[in-house]
Amino acid sequence: MQKVLEMLSQRAVHRQESCDGKLPVDLTPGQIRCSKREVVLTRGAERLASREDGRKLYDYFSSLEGIGGFQDHFDWWARNQFSSQGGKPLWIDPHDPNVHHIFIDDNIRLDDADTIVHPLVFSEQGSSSPSRVPTSELYDVCLVQTDLLEAIADEDYFLHCVRRCEENYDHYLASMEKDTPSQQQDGQ
């Protein structure tokens, strides 16, 4: 993981030079551990758990800026037959237009029985309990399967991925807005 953080840090420095922006890099490795009852996140002295309130972890990730890393719970994923159920959790709140989480990984698949991410969506505004959604619902919206060769060949590959997700996220938010209970009752 340290090598990945260093590589991302070097890319960030290159991006800073080319766009005159500052992108902070936090080399403190974090760790995510999952169980049937909860998800526990640790990073340095910080420790958060999802048992009481699933929104705490969403808020934590939403407050981060720049580049950082978290070690996933591979054993948990393996015990869950490499399925979404044991995958890396990703919290999405379509009612929060200021935050767009994007998860890029070469093991993201459209088949929930064979993917590395566990997407959790807060379907009701202000809810503390997210619902599991199919990976396909968020593909190229919040989830991107990395094309490793393309990522090596194209220096701007990840920027293109982010742009595509941003465009698709706008459509996703609009569709979620149409599906809210208050608008369904109003006949909209």
59-101 pLDDT, tens digit each: 999 999 888 889 999 999 999 999 999 999 999 999 998 899 9
Beta-strand ranges (E) seen in 12-108 are 30-34, 39-43, 46-49, 70-71, 88-92, 103-105
Cβ-proximal residues to 172 (8 Å cutoff; 6+ apart), any chain: 94, 138, 141, 142
Q: Which amino acid, one-letter code, is at 8?
A: L
Instruction: List strand residue ranges (DSSP E) for the chain, in order.
Output: 30-34, 39-43, 46-49, 70-71, 88-92, 103-105, 117-121, 131-132, 143-145
Q: Are 25 and 9 in contact (CB under 8 A)?
A: yes
Can you tell me the distance from the alpha carbon of 139 to that of 131, in angstroms, rounded to the nearest whole number? 17
Domain annotation covers residue 185: no
- Give me the domain span that covers residue 43: 2-179
Domain count, the chain: 1
pTM equals 0.80
In a domain, residue 188? The reply is no
Within-domain flag for 11 = yes
Residue 63 located in a structural domain: yes
Indicate whether 184 belongs to any domain.
Answer: no
pLDDT, tens digit, 9 for 90 and up, residues 128-171: 899 999 999 999 999 999 999 999 999 999 999 999 999 999 99
Tell me the per-residue pLDDT of 41-62, one tens digit each, with 9 for 90 and over: 999 999 999 987 889 999 999 9
Query: What is the number of H-type helices and E-type strands within the chain?
Result: 7, 9
Residue 43 lies in a domain: yes
- Answer yes or no: is 95 within a domain: yes
pLDDT at residue 179, rounded to an integer: 66
Asked if the structure places residue 186 within a domain, the reply is no
